[in-house]
């Protein structure tokens, strides 16, 4: 069976158009990858410590197995912040990973902050301690785990009945706070 979708476009003579989804491997949408064939979102991790030329990295992205050999021995806060900032997650699906990076970044700032409350330019470029470097290398290895996450674009169950209910809750600690919102439907099997 051919993998195709029929899309109705009223601006094209009011006719439906068949689109072959096999043509599209992955499309980048909202900073994530969309697999139109399976209608799922996923992430692709790109870690690259090579120098930039005109805001573009010159070298290849590294893989999980290359972390030990490719992370610079003189790892700086500027380098790790650049890698953390490259993870764009507007939907918050990778928050368990991005939050860990923010906590590590805060720890790094506090660890090397002596008198003033801000990082000056020179402090962004110092080599961090060996302990901090190990923590960041562990983080970068774990970051590749988000490539295993896959989310259906539409989360509504096929057997949903009635109106959806929006549920929101939040919590916090000394390190961070978070909120969560989800939609809940009843199903025709009297389930939730």
How would DSSP label each residue in 65-81? GGHHHHS-SS--HHHHH
Q: Are residue 126 and residue 75 in the same domain, yes or no?
A: yes
- Decide if pLDDT at 112 tops 60: yes
| pLDDT for the residue 191 | 59
d(CA 71, CA 80): 10
Q: Any idea which of 3-12, 39-48, 122-131, 143-152 has the lowest mean pLDDT?
A: 3-12
HSE of 65 in the Cβ direction (CA atoms, 13 Å)? 0
Structure confidence at residue 115 as a pLDDT band (50, 70, 90): very low
DSSP H helical segments within the chain, as ranges? 67-70, 77-85, 95-111, 121-124, 130-143
Mean pLDDT, residues 66-77 taken together: 90
Residue ranges making up the domain that contains 141: 52-148
| pLDDT for the residue 192 | 60
Structure confidence at residue 167 as a pLDDT band (50, 70, 90): very high
Decide: helix, strand or coil at residue 39.
coil
- Decide if pLDDT at 149 tops 70: yes
Helix (H) or strand (E) holding 34: strand 32-35
Q: Any idea which of 2-6, 49-53, 65-69, 86-90 has the lowest mean pLDDT?
A: 2-6
Show which of 113, 133, 148 is a domain's final residue: 148
pTM, two decimals, is 0.74
Mean pLDDT, residues 22-44 taken together: 81
- Decide if pLDDT at 135 tops 90: yes
d(CA 143, CA 179): 21
- Decide if pLDDT at 168 tops 60: yes
Q: Is residue 31 included in any domain, yes or no?
A: no
Q: Is residue 26 included in any domain, yes or no?
A: no
- Decide if pLDDT at 180 tops 80: yes
| Residues 162 and 185: beta-carbon distance below 8 Å | yes
Q: Are residue 123 and residue 187 in the same domain, yes or no?
A: no
Q: Are residue 60 and residue 137 in the same domain, yes or no?
A: yes
Q: Is residue 21 included in any domain, yes or no?
A: no
| pLDDT for the residue 190 | 65
| pLDDT for the residue 136 | 95
How many domains does one find in the chain?
2
Count other C-beta atoms under 10 Å from residue 50's C-beta.
14
Cα angle 39, 42, 43; round to 5: 155
């Amino acid at each position: 069976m051919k993998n195709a979708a029929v899309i109705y476009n009223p601006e094209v003579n009011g006719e439906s158009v068949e689109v072959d989804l096999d043509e599209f491997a992955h499309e980048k949408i909202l900073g994530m990858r969309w697999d139109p064939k399976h209608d799922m979102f996923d992430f692709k991790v790109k870690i690259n410590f090579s120098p930039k030329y005109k805001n573009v990295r010159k070298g290849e992205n590294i893989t999980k197995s290359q972390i030990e050999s490719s992370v610079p021995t003189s790892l700086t806060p500027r380098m790790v912040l650049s890698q953390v900032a490259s993870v764009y997650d507007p939907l918050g699906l990778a928050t368990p990973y991005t939050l860990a990076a923010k906590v590590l970044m805060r720890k790094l700032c506090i660890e090397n902050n002596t008198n003033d409350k801000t990082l000056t330019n020179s402090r962004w470029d110092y080599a961090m301690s060996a302990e901090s470097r190990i923590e960041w290398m562990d983080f970068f290895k774990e970051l590749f785990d988000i490539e295993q996450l896959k989310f259906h674009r539409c989360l509504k169950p096929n057997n949903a009945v009635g109106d959806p209910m929006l549920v929101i809750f939040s919590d916090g600690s000394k390190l961070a706070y978070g909120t969560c919102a989800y939609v809940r439907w009843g199903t025709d099997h009297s389930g939730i």
